[in-house]
Amino acid sequence: MISGELFIDLLLGSGALVTAILCLTAKDLFQAILLFISMGLLVTLAWVRLGAWDIAIAEAAIGAGLTGALLIATRRQLNQ
């Protein structure tokens, strides 16, 4: 019987892995970008679980927010 905390850790880690694989295998670039953002958010939760609050705040703002905005802006330029 695994404990609840270990279960959450396993779920977060494997969720990040699965979204990373889906991100790189996605056919559509937009899909890949959205999966990358979701991976960033899952990793943010992993930082919280590891007690790195400063990094969690920075990852939520930069890794998930700003990088996503930059990638979507790039995609728009590429599709013009």
Partner 1 sequence: MFNNMTLSDSAQQEADLPGSVLLIIGMVVVAACLFLAMSLVQFQSTDQPLVTLVVSNLEQSGVENPVTAVLLNFRSYDTLLEVAVLLIVALAVMPFSLQDTRLPFIKVSEPVERSLVLEAFLRWLLPAIIVTSGYLLWTGAVLPGGAFQAGALLAGAGILLLLAGHHSFNFNAPTARLLLVVGLAMFLLVGAGVVLSSGIALAYPVAMAGMLILVIEVAATITIAAVLVLLFCALQIEPLGPQPNRVEKEKHS
Partner 2 sequence: MTQALLYGVFGIALFGIGLFGVLAIAHVVKKILAINICGVGVFMVFIANASSGAAPDFVPHAMVLTGIVVAVAGTAMALSLVVRINALEKPEEGA
Should residue 21 be labelled a site residue for partner 1 when binding is judged by CB under 8 A? no
Of the ranges 5-13, 14-22, 38-46, 54-62, which one interacts with partner 1 (CB under 8 A)?
54-62
Copy the structure tokens of residue 51: 């007690």
Of the ranges 2-10, 14-22, 34-42, 69-77, which one interacts with partner 1 (CB under 8 A)?
69-77
| CA within 13 Å, CB half, 73 | 6
Which one among 29, 34, 37, 50 touches partner 1, defined by CB under 8 A?
Answer: 29
| Torsion, CA 31, CA 14, CA 11, CA 7, rounded to 10 | 180
Placement of tokens 């790189």 in the chain? 24
Should residue 17 be labelled a site residue for partner 1 when binding is judged by CB under 8 A? no
